[in-house]
Amino acid sequence: MMQQVVTGNRLADGVVIYLGQDGGWTSKIDAARVAADADEAKLLEDIAKAAEKARMVVGPYLIEVTDTAGAVTPVRYRERLRAYGPSVHPEFGRADVPDHLRMGSEAEFVHLNGVAG
């Protein structure tokens, strides 16, 4: 089974959040609690549904991740966008995300006149 974490949006401001290792909610995916098996994933899902009933989070769901040396990375592109920011330009990404994880950082920026920069 693929490793999973629970994500959703904070009700107060819509920020993407993850169920943390301490049972609270965090905006940093690296601090998310990773479920290694189906039983733990079900437990995390139940905790998230209770938080939704308590109006702390909106629409929680499980996502697949990889955990390599403590770096939790979403498998699907949609979830990487939610975790690290927009893909249109690295400068528009979240400031708290390391450069190597920023969306769009792998692409070379090209001006409309065709000059790279």
Instruction: Check: pTM over 0.75? Answer yes or no.
Output: yes
Whether the CB-CB separation of 66 and 75 falls below 8 Å is answered with: yes
- Percentage of residues of the chain with pLDDT beyond 70: 82
Confidence category of residue 97, pLDDT binned at 50, 70, 90 = confident
The stretch 22-34 carries a mean pLDDT of 94
Residues in contact with 51: Cβ distance below 8 Å, sequence separation at least 6, in sequence order:
8, 19, 25, 57, 60
Q: Read out DSSP for 34-88?
A: PB-SHHHHHHHHHHHHHHHHTTSEEEEEEEEEEEETTEEEESSHHHHHHHH--SS
The pLDDT tens digits of the residues spanning 51-90 come to 999 999 999 999 999 988 878 999 999 999 899 887 777 6
Is the pLDDT score of 117 beyond 60? no
CA angle 4, 66, 34 (to 5 degrees): 40
Residues in contact with 1: Cβ distance below 8 Å, sequence separation at least 6, in sequence order:
36, 37, 38, 41
Q: What are phi and psi of 17, to 5 degrees?
A: -135, 165
